[in-house]
Structures are given as structure tokens and as C-alpha cells.
Structure 1
Amino acid sequence: MFNEFKAFIAKGNVLDLAVAVIIGAAFGAIVTSLTDSIIMPTIGAIFGGIDFSNHFILLSTPAGYAGSLTDYAALKEAGAAMIGYGAFITAVINFLILAFIIFLLVRMANKVMKRQADEPAGPTEVELLTEIRDLLKKS
């Protein structure tokens, strides 16, 4: 069973997939940073300084909670029941950015593959050997 697993891992597709997952996670972190640090603050500034990450609907507070009812982080840490729609909006924007970039990459890859498929294939080995034989016969 170990040898089968080793053969499975050694296949190129599995290694390619592992690399893709690692690069995808790193790219996801970059897009999250872009959204949180640049895009959402810009959108917030356009709409009058709104910070989307702190927008929520408070459903209930835990018993004995004495902190601020407008501090999203404190309420979340205390375990308050709330709907954090600002964080959801940010996650949706992250997803749309990632989906659009993946769309562009797949589109570009498809164009390259189509271009390669449209190019005429070179001579086969048999054709090359036949051509070499004919040249040798002439000389």
C-alpha cells in the first residue's frame, strides 16, 4: 500500500495540484490584503468614511456583557449573536476579484492552447528519417 501511495504522489498531476493549492492560498492572501487595505477603504471614503468591516446587526448580547454595543470586535470576542454583513460584503468582493483573475488566466491559457493547436505540426520522425535517407541516397 505504501508503494502505491508513493507512486500516486510521484505522479505529475498530484504535484502540480499541490503547487497550485499553495500558490492559490498565497494569492488569496494577497487579494484579501488588497481588498481589506485598499479597495474597501477607498469605497468607504467614497461613501463618507464608512468602514464596512464594522457593520453588523446585533441580535443579542451575552449575559453580563458591559462593553460597547457598537464595537464589533469586542462583541464578537464576547460571543454576541450578530450578523456581520460588512465582513460578508468584504468576503464577496474578495471572491469576485479572485474569480475575475482566475477567469482572465483561464482565458489567456485557452488562447495560448488554441494558438498552439492551430499551428501546423512539424514533420514526424518517420518523415524526417525518410528525408535524411533520401538526402544520403543523393550524395
Structure 2
Amino acid sequence: MLKEFREFAMKGNVVDLAVGVIIGAAFGAIVTSLVGDIIMPIIGAITGGLDFSNYFTGLSKAVTATNLADAKKQGAVLAWGNFLTLTLNFLIVAFVLFMVIRAMNQFKRKEAVAPAEPPKPTREQELLGEIRDLLKSRV
């Protein structure tokens, strides 16, 4: 069973998938930082510091807190502002990923369109060409 697992784990697709997951997690951290540290502060400055993450509706009369963390301690709350913030973050992350993938696809298209140089003939092909030319010149 251990040998079979090792064979499975060392297959090319599994290793490629593992590399993709690791790079994806690192890229996800970069995009999350971009959203949280650069884009959201700009949006906050434009909207006058508007932060939806603390908007909530208490589902019981015992909830009297003014911020979400304290409200959750007091009872059930509908944290619609946090949901709205996370949805906005998702849309920004999805847009950034779309732009990155779009740029990569355009780069691939340019690379595919660029004419490739014809391969240099091998020594054997050169010799065959010389023989052909010699035979033509004798006729």
C-alpha cells in the first residue's frame, strides 16, 4: 500500500496540482493584501471612511451592542454588513484575477502568433543537399 501511494503521489499530475495549490495560496495572499491594504482604504477614503463590516441586525432584544463582536457575544445577530464587505472583497479579487488571466492569455496569443525561425538543417541534411546539388550539376 505504501508503494502504491508513493507511485500515486509522484505522478506528474499530482505534483503539478500540488505546485498549483501552493502558488495559488501565495497568489491569494497577495491579492488579499492588495484588496485589504490598497484598494479598500482607497474606497474608504472616497466614501468618507464607510465600513460595512460592523453593520448588523440583532435577532433578539438582548442585543444592545454597537459593534459586531460585542453583539455576537450578546446573542444571535444577522451580520449583513460583514457579508456585504466579503462579497465586495470577492468581486474585487475576482476582477483582479480576471485581469491577470486576461493578460496571460494575451501574452500567449502574441507568443503563438510570432513567427518561429525555421530550424537549422542538420549536418546530414546539409550533406544530402550537397549530394543533390552535385547530381543536378552532372546532368
TM-score > 0.5, shorter chain as reference: yes
CA contact (8 A) 1:31 1:97 kept: yes
1:103 equivalenced with 2:102 (yes/no): yes
How many Å apart are 1:9 and its aligned residue?
3.5
Task: Give matches, 1:47-66, under 5 Å.
Answer: 47-52=47-52, 54=53, 56-58=55-57, 60-61=59-60, 64-66=62-64
Aligned-partner residue type, residue 105 of structure 1: M
* Count of residue pairs the alignment pairs up: 129
CA contact (8 A) 2:56 2:77 kept: no
Distance in 1 (alpha carbons) for counterparts of 2:54 and 2:123 = 70
Distance in 2 (alpha carbons) for counterparts of 1:4 and 1:15 = 15
Cα 1:79–1:60, aligned 2, differ >3 Å: closer, same or farther?
closer
Q: TM-score, normalized by length of structure 2?
A: 0.68
CA contact (8 A) 1:57 1:85 kept: no
Distance in 1 (alpha carbons) for counterparts of 2:4 and 2:123 = 40
Distance in 2 (alpha carbons) for counterparts of 1:98 and 1:111 = 20
Aligned-partner residue type, residue 106 of structure 2: R
How many Å apart are 1:114 and its aligned residue?
3.6
**Structure 2 unpaired stretches of 5+:** 135-139
1:74 equivalenced with 2:74 (yes/no): no
CA contact (8 A) 2:56 2:79 kept: yes
Distance in 2 (alpha carbons) for counterparts of 1:20 and 1:55 = 35
How many Å apart are 1:55 and its aligned residue?
5.2
Identity among equivalent positions (%) equals: 36
How many Å apart are 1:32 and its aligned residue?
0.6
Which has more radius of gyration? 2
Cα 1:97–1:9, aligned 2, differ >3 Å: closer, same or farther?
same
CA contact (8 A) 1:44 1:50 kept: yes
Q: Which structure would you say has the larger RCO, counting Cα contacts within 8 Å and 6 or more residues apart?
A: 1
Distance in 2 (alpha carbons) for counterparts of 1:72 and 1:20 = 36
Aligned-partner residue type, residue 39 of structure 1: I
**Structure 1 unpaired stretches of 5+:** none
Q: TM-score, normalized by length of structure 1?
A: 0.68
